[in-house]
């Protein structure tokens, strides 16, 4: 059967990777902000009803972690209310649904990788609204698959890799980067592969942790980025990275100190293998953007 796939977040990091992959399964209708504003529940419902997807992938989200602190209602509408509506409509249509979630649903005071059934405890508005979205999606559609991930990077959109490279391009040769937050950088392409595998293999509904393998700090991530840049651009002035504490880099939203996710539940499916984050970084940026 040819599928009809409705993808939200067309222009985002994950949406950009997911769109061409899902074209293998059938017709993809990929939408962005300009097509339907997810804050408008009625327009969202009407859009889903008119397209009648057999598969719904939600890669859209309000991802501005700090700005969310001053725009909680907007973050809630996009991260909680909109996914709830999507799940309700997918349930009505008998459609499969894949949704994405975040490591920021956890409190970050753990000492071993978080498992899917560990207690949540978001530290900020972004994490809280994403958690509310996860719960609402599963309540409306228990068969929905939620891929919970962390520290996403890709050649598109905004992310830490591109910020580091931009600062270097602007002539910065010394950067101070937080060294006491641990997590796992994850390629958006892995998240697109994961969504495709989830629907192709009809994996059981629920939350799955899906990140690249391994863990590091933002400082360790920056070091790896500049090591790769030095190999690709040997004539460029080197960038040195100084490790600093979170307390030395105040942000509006608190971030979890430790948000490594345990991927055993995903790995047990035996579908998409999780490369190390270092390999994923080099594969994602074989050349500099
Ligand atoms: N980025 C990370 O480090 C990270 C970490 C953990 C989990 N995640 C999760 O992974 C998923 C994908 O993240 P990503 O990094 O690919 O996100 P992204 O690059 O920020 O893209 C988000 C997309 O959502 C769209 N969007 C935002 N507000 C909208 C609205 N009101 N109406 C319609 N579309 C709207 C954006 O469109 P516009 O650009 O036009 O606004 C954009 O296409 C999200 O669920 C996110 O919570 C991300």
The string of pLDDT tens digits covering residues 239-262 is 999 999 999 988 999 999 999 999
Using the mean position of ligand 1's atoms as its centre, give its distance from the Cα of residue 32 in Å.
10
- Residue 13 CA to ligand 1 center (angstroms) comes to 7
The Cα 23–Cα 34 span in angstroms is: 21
From ligand 1's centre to the CA of 29, what distance in Å? Answer: 17
Enclosing domain of residue 89: 3-158+185-215+259-275
Determine whether the shortest distance from the Cβ of 13 to ligand 1 is under 6 A. Answer: yes
- 39 CB within 6 A, ligand 1: yes
114 is catalytic: no
Note whether residue 168 is domain-resident.
no
pLDDT-derived band at 61 (thresholds 50, 70, 90) equals very high
Question: Is residue 264 domain-resident?
Answer: yes
Residues 252, 180, 194: CA angle, nearest 5 degrees: 85
Q: At residue 26, does pLDDT exceed 90?
A: yes
Residue 288 pLDDT > 80, yes or no? Answer: no
Q: Residues 256, 259, 265, 271: is their CA dihedral positive or negative? A: positive
CATH number at residue 111: 3.40.50.720
Residue 113 domain-assigned (yes or no): yes
224 falls within a domain? no
């973050």: which residue's tokens?
Answer: 75
Average pLDDT over residues 285-289: 82
Percentage above 90 pLDDT, the chain: 96
Q: Which of 100, 126, 208, 219 is catalytic?
A: 126
Ligand 1 atom closest to Cα of 78? Answer: 31
State the chain's mean pLDDT as an integer: 96
Domains held by the chain: number: 1
Give the Cα separation of 12 and 6 in Å (integer).
15
Q: How far apart are the first and last CA of the chain?
A: 38
pTM for the full predicted model: 0.97
Model confidence at 287, pLDDT cuts 50, 70, 90, reads confident
Contact at 8 Å (CB) between 13 and 153? yes
Residue 250 falls within a domain, yes or no? no
- Is residue 37 within 6 Å of ligand 1 at its C-beta? yes
- Bin 79: left if φ > 0, else alpha if -120 < ψ < 50, else beta: alpha
In a domain, 23, yes or no: yes
Q: Are 288 and 236 in contact (CB under 8 A)?
A: no
Pocket mutation for ligand 1, best pick of 7, 43, 47, 61 (most atoms within 8 Å of C-beta): 61
- Three-state SS at 127: helix
Q: What is the pLDDT of residue 137?
A: 98
| Residue 187 predicted with pLDDT over 70 | yes
Domain assignment present for residue 123? The answer is yes
Strands 182-183 and 216-217: antiparallel
Lowest mean pLDDT across 65-69, 187-191, 234-238, 284-288: 284-288
Confirm whether 64 is domain-assigned: yes
Q: What's the confidence (pLDDT) of residue 1?
A: 65
């Amino acid at each position: 059967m040819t599928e009809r796939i409705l993808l939200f977040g067309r222009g985002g990091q994950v949406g950009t990777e997911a769109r061409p992959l899902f074209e293998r399964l059938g017709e993809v209708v990929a939408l962005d902000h300009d097509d339907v504003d997810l804050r408008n529940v009625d327009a969202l419902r009407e859009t889903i009803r008119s397209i009648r997807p057999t598969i719904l992938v939600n890669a859209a989200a309000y991802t501005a972690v700090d700005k969310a602190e001053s725009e909680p209602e907007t973050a809630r509408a996009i991260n909680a209310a909109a996914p709830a509506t999507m799940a309700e409509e997918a349930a009505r249509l008998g459609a499969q649904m894949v949704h994405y979630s975040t490591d920021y649903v956890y409190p970050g005071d753990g000492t071993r990788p978080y498992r899917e059934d560990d207690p949540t405890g978001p530290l900020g508005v972004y994490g809280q609204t994403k958690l509310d979205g996860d719960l609402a999606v599963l309540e409306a559609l228990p068969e929905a698959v939620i891929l919970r991930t962390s520290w996403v990077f890709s050649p598109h959109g905004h992310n830490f890799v591109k910020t580091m490279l931009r600062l270097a391009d602007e002539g910065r040769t010394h950067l101070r980067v937080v060294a006491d937050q641990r997590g796992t950088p994850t390629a958006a392409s892995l998240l697109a592969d994961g969504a495709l595998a989830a629907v192709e293999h009809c994996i059981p509904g629920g939350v799955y942790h899906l990140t690249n393998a391994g863990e590091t700090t933002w400082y360790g991530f920056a070091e790896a980025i500049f090591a790769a840049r030095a190999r690709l651009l040997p004539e460029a002035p080197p960038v040195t990275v100084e490790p600093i504490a979170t307390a030395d880099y105040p942000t509006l939203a608190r971030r979890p100190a430790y948000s490594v996710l345990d991927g055993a539940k995903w790995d047990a499916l035996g579908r998409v293998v999780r490369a190390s984050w270092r390999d994923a970084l080099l594969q994602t940026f074989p050349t500099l953007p």
